[in-house]
Amino acid sequence: MEITNVSEYQAIAKQKLPKMVYDYYASGAEDQWTLEENRNAFSRILFRPRILIDVSKIDMTTTVLGFKISMPIMIAPTAMQKMAHPEGEYATARAASAAGTIMTLSSWATSSVEEVASTGPGIRFFQLYVYKDRHVVAQLVRRAERAGFKAIALTVDTPRLGRREADIKNRFTLPPFLTLKNFEGLDLGKMDKADDSGLASYVAGQIDRSLSWKDVQWLQTITKLPILVKGVLTAEDARLSIQAGAAGIIVSNHGARQLDYVPATIMALEEVVKAAQGRVPVFVDGGVRRGTDVFKALALGASGIFIGRPVVFSLAAEGETGVRKVLQMLRDEFELTMALSGCRSLKEITRDHIFTDWDLPHPRPLPRL
């Protein structure tokens, strides 16, 4: 069967992967309300396309933290990609590089920063979890820097792991033939079997619950790399991120895997963009499956988007080829959306190109005559 859109990879991944692995990638926290809402919220944003504009040439290029990329579609950090495919993060890195875009490597990758760097050229960011042992953190940041990574995406929404009931039921743990490669030499690379989720136990044991704004400032003392604060959902925290020296903000609810009943990221985006007042770029992840979704995010003020699950699902289905196809399909759909909306460059995409169900006063039903 020919694959014609990004979402079709999920069903193939479900067929191919062991249940424990598929459920780990696919599930959200608790009732999974936010998981569904991340997708559904996009359908409450509609277009106001402009016509009779010469769209024979369309430029999707942009710059992120000074790095030129081919399109505002980047790869979010997703953990343990070798559970999806033997080539794991290597395949993802090559696909991102071929597409001329940015890959973010997870702290909990099954390939190390050095291994990913060895795949060849490419602009890469490193997602960081802050461990209780700050020497481990400092060492990891220095390794990422040495390996040529260009920014740190600091995950700030995980003082504890969200309650992911599929992982509890499946007693999720990293398969024995894999390790969290970045921590292999530090005796932190393995995950013990647990009575619930092995990952939840690992986080409870290793990740620092005391993480606060002062740590964002501490991080800047140990690295020259720009820091993106990942996991912001409110105007208040957007302002605090900027005060703390963040170079950018990623509006994220961790793929709906942390606190359930937070809004969809596309719903939280505009509040954060307004608070940032153009001082730093604002990005968004969560629920992007179509080129139309990318356009909507940019119309609401995002500088770019990140995709997570589409990467692991396409990786499971077709390895590097799958990830390349996902990036190409989103690119093609986004270009088409731009053309049909009358936009020739990213700067031409404005808030006036969309309307949302919160823009308009809800019309009252007409009185019966």
What is the token pair recorded at 338? 């731009």
303 is in an annotated binding site: no
Mapped onto helix, strand or coil, the DSSP state of residue 195 is: coil
H or E element that contains 140: helix 134-146
Rounded Cα–Cα distance for residues 159 and 205 (Å): 11
Residues in a beta bridge with 251: 232, 284
User: Which of these is catalytic: 135, 254, 353, 362?
Assistant: 254
What is the token pair recorded at 174? 């990293």
142 is in an annotated binding site: no
286 is in an annotated binding site: yes
Mapped onto helix, strand or coil, the DSSP state of residue 344 is: coil
288 is in an annotated binding site: yes
133 is in an annotated binding site: no
What is the torsional sign of CA 304, 309, 312, 315?
A: negative
Rounded Cα–Cα distance for residues 174 and 180 (Å): 8
230 is in an annotated binding site: yes
64 is in an annotated binding site: no
92 is in an annotated binding site: no
148 is in an annotated binding site: no
Q: Let me know if 254 is a catalytic residue.
A: yes
For tokens 């949302």, what's the residue?
356
324 is in an annotated binding site: no
Rounded Cα–Cα distance for residues 258 and 157 (Å): 7
Mapped onto helix, strand or coil, the DSSP state of residue 173 is: coil
301 is in an annotated binding site: no
39 is in an annotated binding site: no
308 is in an annotated binding site: yes
146 is in an annotated binding site: no
Query: Which residues, 6 or more positions from 213, have their beta carbon under 8 angstroms from its beta carbon?
Result: 240, 243, 244
Q: Are strands 248-251 and 227-232 parallel, antiparallel or unpaired?
A: parallel
243 is in an annotated binding site: no
* Cβ neighbours, 10 Å, residue 22: 22
What is the token pair recorded at 124? 């890469």
Radius of gyration of the chain (CA): 20
Residue positions forming the annotated binding site:
24, 77-79, 106, 127, 129, 155, 164, 230, 252, 254, 257, 285-289, 308-309
Residue positions forming the annotated binding site for glyoxylate:
24, 129, 164, 254, 257
Residue positions forming the annotated binding site for FMN:
77-79, 106, 127, 155, 230, 252, 285-289, 308-309
Positions annotated as catalytic residues are: 254
